[in-house]
Amino acid sequence: MGGYGTQIVNLFAATLLLIAFAMLAQRRIVALIHLFALQGLALVGSTVTVAWVTGQHHLYYSAAITFALKVVILPYILHRLIRRLNVKWDIETLLNIPTMMLVGIVLVVFAFNLAIPISEFSTSMARGTLGIALACVLLSFLMMITRSKAVPQVIGFLAMENGLFFAATSATYGMPMVVELGIALDVLVGMVILGVFLFQIREQFDSLDIRHLESLRDD
C-alpha cells in the first residue's frame, strides 16, 4: 500500500510543480486564479493521501482547512475582487517567457540540490517531495518579482504559502494543529487586508500597476 501511496503523492507533487510553472507563464488574471484553486486542490489531494496511508488523523482536518481556505474562500475573494476592481479580463504583457522558464528550471535544480541532504533524514513517505516544495516556493517568488500588476503579485504570494504548506506535509506530516490554525488565520486576514489595500491603491493611482509604487527611494 505504501508503494502506491508514495506514487500518488509524487504524482500530486509533480502536478503542483507543473502548476507553479503554468502560473509563471500565465498572463490572464482570471486564469491565474483558476490555476491557484487547482494548486490548492492538488495540495488537498496529497494531504488526504498522506493521511489515508499513514493513518495520521489530524491531517484530515488540515486537509479540510486547506480545502475551505485555498480552494473555496481565497479564490472566491479573488474572483470578487477582480470583478469589483474591473480587472477580470486584464492581460499582462510578460516579456521573455522562455527565459523565465529557463530561470525556473535553474531554480528547481537548485532547490533539489538544497533538499537532498535534508530529505535523507526524512522518515516520511513523501521524502522525495521536499525538493519540489522548495522549488514551488522559489518559483512563486520568481513570479512575484517578475509581475508588475498588484493582483498577480498577491496570487504569487499565496502560491508561495501553498509551497510552504506542501513542505510541511511532505517533510513532517504537517505542523501541530494550533500552528496550522494560526497560519490559516494569518493568511485569511492578510488576504482581506490586501483586498482593502488594492482598492486604496486603485483609488489613489487609478490603476493597479505597481510600477507607480516606485517613487520612494534614496537618491
Q: Does 65 bind other proteins (CB under 8 A)?
A: no
Q: Does 164 bind other proteins (CB under 8 A)?
A: yes
Interface region with other proteins, contact rule CB under 8 A, candidates 1-9, 11-19, 97-105, 191-199: 191-199
Minimum CB distance to other proteins smaller for 11 or for 175: 175
Q: Does 113 bind other proteins (CB under 8 A)?
A: no
| Shortest Cβ 147–other proteins spacing (Å) | 11
In sequence order, what are the residues at sequence separation of 6 or more whose Cβ sits closer than 8 angstroms to the Cβ of residue 156? 23, 140, 141, 143, 144, 147
* Most distant pair of Cα atoms in the chain: their distance: 62
Rounding to the nearest 10 degrees, give the CA dihedral for residues 65, 162, 35, 93: 140
| Shortest Cβ 98–other proteins spacing (Å) | 25
Minimum CB distance to other proteins smaller for 98 or for 117: 117
| Number of residues in contact with other proteins under rule CB under 8 A | 50
In sequence order, what are the residues at sequence separation of 6 or more whose Cβ sits closer than 8 angstroms to the Cβ of residue 8? 46, 49
Q: Does 103 bind other proteins (CB under 8 A)?
A: no
| Shortest Cβ 160–other proteins spacing (Å) | 5
Give pairs for 24-27: CB < 8 Å, separation 24+.
Answer: 24/97, 24/100, 24/101, 24/104, 24/139, 24/142, 24/143, 24/146, 25/94, 25/97, 25/100, 25/101, 27/91, 27/92, 27/93, 27/94
Q: Which residues bind other proteins (CB under 8 A)?
A: 56, 114, 117-118, 121-123, 134, 137, 141, 144, 150, 153, 157, 160-161, 164, 167-168, 171-173, 175-179, 182-183, 185-186, 189-190, 193-194, 196-197, 200-201, 203-205, 210, 212-216, 218-219
